[in-house]
Structure 1
Amino acid sequence: MISDRDSKILEVPLVSSVIDTGFPASEKYNNRLYDMAVTDDQKLWMGGQSRELKLFDLQGHLHRTVTITCLGLYISMYRREVVYSDVKAVKKISDDDTVVTMFTTGDWRPYGITGSASGDLLVCLGKEDQSKVVRYSSTGTVLQEIQYDPQSQPLYREAFYIAENVNGDIIVTDLKKKTVIAVDRLGKFRYTYSGKNNALDAASVATDSVGQVFVTDLKGDKIHMLDRDGRFLRYVIPGGGIKRPRAVCLIGDDEMIVGEQNTGLAKRIKLSE
């Protein structure tokens, strides 16, 4: 647990730096920044309201811009390359900035995506009123499908963003249920979390090395911090606040990057000192 560490937990987390990603705003909703992923050398791939992905360092310097054919809604790191969800395909960007289709997803549209510790890809898929999580090999072989609970009821209404925890739990935010749903690595239900008084507009999700879970609350302007069993620990609201947080990534266990959907700003937040 974070409270057992030598570092002191900050009562009011500190925004230590801000990256202006420069994505344009959508005309209808004013959205700019959607998702981000941290590389091994601590740079940040960003996806937003333009058909390109951008690679920044933590100081906010732009290193690469790669043109894609969709908006940068769902991205992740996988085997040291950035992968993303296109309309009905999962694609990656190679070292020479070439876009490569890894596999297609048939009639299903991919949403949130994450690499797993086993070397597979976990992808949220949606089709009409159905939603599921599929584990793929790197070549697109379906290894596992997670869709129903033991009573054959759908687990998800609209699986949105996804993360894998250190204990193997697969944690999904559900856009329509406005909740967090966790299953174990076999797909067995573990817990749901819908905030205090069911007040959570769950967007993205990330985990740290001890299994704590961080969920962005888009309309609540805060981050919900849970333990590995889905129990509420605290809110993360930095000094000066955050507005419509969507994307979230951990940098080590004491810092996170949070992307504000409408400002296009990515804020680096210190949780402890």
Structure 2
Amino acid sequence: MDMLNNDECQFCYDKVIFRCMPCKVALCKDCVAVHIKMTSTISHKIVLSEEGKEEKRRQLFKKDTLSSGFENMCDVSYQDMGLFYICSEQCKVIKKLNLSGKEIDSFKATKSPLCVKSCSNGVLYTEFGIKAVMFYIRGRIKHLFSTGDWQPQGVNTTKAGNILLTLRRNKEAKLVTFSQHGNVCSEIQYQDREPLYCDPWYVVESPRGYLCVSDQGKSSVICVRSDGELIFQYYGHRNSFYPRGLCSDATSHFIVADPWNNKLHYISSCGEFICYLEYESMDSPTSISNVADKPNNFLICEIGGFIHSVEM
């Protein structure tokens, strides 16, 4: 049973005032210290109970809907001039489409693509079982650089032109910034000597320079400064949370896709829940991308293969 939904304190059955989001525990005001002391090795986030408050929702204007021809879509990345790349967990093909849904280009990855990131002259991508960053440009696939014995998962770029990668090796995980030649610029793995990440996937840099990662192992969104200082961990709003693709808007707030709950979480730059975002016929959104040349416009891909063009 999900303790976040309980009306009584986990320890003394008094009225719930607070909740610990990572532990999913309901607490009264007197038992917060007891809980923290009993589980001192865990990073806690104690918040006021949301009981009785209405869930805030905001409707997005849906401009168009396209069919990708894929199922189990996992990522979308806008390039420019109305062009974008998409990939699926169940197909080796990565497609380049326009906003009318016409296929402009496509190529076949070696294995299953995980994430894509459009660049001005091509697309970066990661593949399951390939420990390298791949790059497609003008009909050619390039092995950009190796990641050693680490599996790259999420990929993105920074304003400075560096490459962001979430990496996993056995039970270890980290966020690394690379130069375009594969040199390590920075590496973030621990917070107070404890592992910061468990199974990090999608990653984005906000206009403020914050680095935000969706971690499916921790069921949370983890945001840090470029030097690794933790800004926040967001564990969802009241219910279970399965974060996947995410992006940042012009105000440095974040939009996070939560497909298993059929939700888009809109959270502030300091990790506070703002509202749920919705659009007509929303069905399990998996990833989201800014339309860079149209402010407040986004592309959202869904598990079923549809891509929606929306405006906030």
TM-score (norm 1): 0.88
Structure 2 residue 59 is the aligned partner of structure 1 residue 12:
yes
- Equivalent in the alignment of 1:28: none
Gaps of 5+ in 2: 1-56
Q: Secondary structure at the match of 2:245?
A: strand
* 8 Å CA contact retained: 2:263, 2:277: yes
CA distance in 2 between counterparts of 1:270 and 1:122 reads 27
| CA-to-aligned-CA distance 1:82-116 (integer Å, 9 cap, x gap) | 1001310101111x210001101111000001010
Structure 2 residue 105 is the aligned partner of structure 1 residue 64:
yes
Q: Secondary structure at the match of 1:219?
A: helix
Give 1:79 deviation, angstroms.
4.8
Structure 2 residue 188 is the aligned partner of structure 1 residue 141:
no
- Equivalent in the alignment of 2:246: 205
Return 133-142 or 12-21, whichever deviates more: 12-21
- Equivalent in the alignment of 2:53: none
- Equivalent in the alignment of 2:76: 36
1:127 to 161, 169, 174: 169
CA distance in 2 between counterparts of 1:205 and 1:13 reads 16
Higher Cα Rg, which structure? 2
Q: Secondary structure at the match of 2:238?
A: helix
| CA-to-aligned-CA distance 1:35-68 (integer Å, 9 cap, x gap) | 1111122311011121111011111111111121
CA distance in 2 between counterparts of 1:121 and 1:36 reads 17
Return 135-144 or 248-257, whichever deviates more: 248-257
| CA-to-aligned-CA distance 1:190-233 (integer Å, 9 cap, x gap) | 10111112532101110112212100011111111112112111
- Equivalent in the alignment of 1:89: 132
| Residue identity opposite 2:290 in structure 1 | L
Gaps of 5+ in 1: 1-9, 26-31
CA distance in 1 between counterparts of 2:157 and 2:101 reads 25
Structure 2 residue 161 is the aligned partner of structure 1 residue 114:
no
| CA-to-aligned-CA distance 1:165-190 (integer Å, 9 cap, x gap) | 11110000001111100000111111
CA distance in 2 between counterparts of 1:270 and 1:116 reads 24
CA distance in 2 between counterparts of 1:213 and 1:139 reads 29
Bigger relative contact order (CA 8 A; separation at least 6):
1
Return structure 1 stretches of 4+ with deviation > 4 angstroms: none
| CA-to-aligned-CA distance 1:109-136 (integer Å, 9 cap, x gap) | 0000101011110100001111001111
| Cα pair distance change 1:197/1:11, threshold 3 Å | closer
The 5-angstrom pairing of residues 1-273 of structure 1 reads 11-23=58-70, 25=71, 32-48=72-88, 49-86=90-127, 87-94=130-137, 96-149=138-191, 151-240=192-281, 242-251=282-291, 252-261=294-303, 263-271=304-312
CA distance in 1 between counterparts of 2:153 and 2:199 reads 9
- Percent identical residues: 24
CA distance in 2 between counterparts of 1:198 and 1:117 reads 34
Give 1:246 deviation, angstroms.
0.6
* 8 Å CA contact retained: 2:124, 2:133: yes
Q: Secondary structure at the match of 1:88?
A: strand
TM-score (norm 2): 0.77
Q: Secondary structure at the match of 2:123?
A: strand
RMSD: 1.4
| Cα pair distance change 1:190/1:61, threshold 3 Å | same
CA distance in 2 between counterparts of 1:11 and 1:183 reads 27
| Residue identity opposite 1:107 in structure 2 | D
Number of residue pairs matched by the alignment: 251
CA distance in 1 between counterparts of 2:232 and 2:181 reads 31
